[in-house]
Structure 1
Amino acid sequence: MTTRVARLSWPLIALLGVFALVRPVPSITGAMEVLGRPWAPLVVTVLISIVWFAAVVWRREGRPVLTLTCAGLVYGVLAVVLSAVLSPVLHGELMGPLASPGGVGVVMVLLVNAAWGAVVGVVASVVSRRHHTGDR
């Protein structure tokens, strides 16, 4: 398993995780309220998913599921840190996943975002496999 993880494109994983930070920015700035809920968060999530999908398919990543699962985890960690830094500044108190008892919020953020990446990775894997089979 260690060699498999080492062969992942860590720069791509980091870039995709950082890119997903566009998701909390509209919430932090209040733009989600202007754009309208529940559609605005869904649209942003779909757009990020399309970029993630396109990146691993275009690069012909050998392990799209693992790559995007890791990207989801990177995003989750960054989102928790961003929340910890910004919530006291914007709201005067710690809010978000770190404020939940027993670290449950952090675990849920990581699980949900890892699952998000994995689902997009499975779709990319299926599409890539079909596309590459069609190349022959």
Structure 2
Amino acid sequence: MTTGVSRLSWPLIVVLGVFALVRPILNITGAMDVLGKPVGPVLVTVVISTVWLAAVVWRRSARPVATLTCAGLVYGVLAVVLSAVLSPILRGELVGPLATPGGIGVVMVLLVNAGWGAAVGVVALALELRLEHAGR
């Protein structure tokens, strides 16, 4: 008997989570500054969301909300790890979610990114249902 979690496409989830690392990498390299604020972060978030949406719709994911919620969580974990590894190297001290008291920073990163994935997943589900209905 398979559970709902085992029916998820974990390779897809991991790839989408890793893809979202483009956002912190653009920040770290300073490339985000070229785009300017607030346009840069918003534009990059829209691009990542669009890729996530297209990927689950194209793959006809049976569970787009769960898939993208998990992708958001994978991204959140990877972003926390990236911050923990790179901030001491680049800034000489630990900054970011792990540096917040009581681990609240990590919790917030995970909640926000799970919410982001879930929101895109709801849009993907609606689009899949619309496409399914149109195909009848």
Q: TM-score, normalised by structure 2?
A: 0.97
TM superposition outliers: structure 1 runs of 4+ over 4 Å: none
Q: Which residue of 1 aligns with 2:58?
A: 58
| Aligned counterparts of 1:98 and 1:36: Cα–Cα separation in 2 | 27
Q: Which residue of 1 aligns with 2:134?
A: 134
Provide structure 1 residue ranges, at least 5 long, that are not aligned to the other structure. none
The CA deviation at 1:30 is: 1.3
Q: Which residue of 1 aligns with 2:28?
A: 28
Q: Which residue of 2 aligns with 1:118?
A: 118
- Post-superposition Cα deviations, 1:11-45, rounded to whole Å, max 9, x if no partner, equal 00000000000010111111222220111011000
Q: Which residue of 2 aligns with 1:6?
A: 6
- The letter for the 1-side match of 2:42 is L
Q: Which residue of 2 aligns with 1:78?
A: 78
The CA deviation at 1:75 is: 0.1
Note the aligned Cα RMSD (angstroms): 0.8
Q: Which moved more, 1:33-42 or 1:59-68?
A: 33-42
User: SS state of the match for residue 6, structure 1?
Assistant: coil
| Aligned counterparts of 1:31 and 1:97: Cα–Cα separation in 2 | 22
User: SS state of the match for residue 88, structure 2?
Assistant: helix
Provide structure 2 residue ranges, at least 5 long, that are not aligned to the other structure. none
| Aligned counterparts of 1:70 and 1:4: Cα–Cα separation in 2 | 12
- The letter for the 2-side match of 1:50 is T
Q: TM-score, normalised by structure 1?
A: 0.97
User: SS state of the match for residue 133, structure 1?
Assistant: helix
The CA deviation at 1:7 is: 0.6
| Aligned counterparts of 2:127 and 2:11: Cα–Cα separation in 1 | 23
Q: Which has the higher helix share?
A: 1
Percent same amino acid among aligned pairs? Answer: 73
Q: Which residue of 2 aligns with 1:19?
A: 19
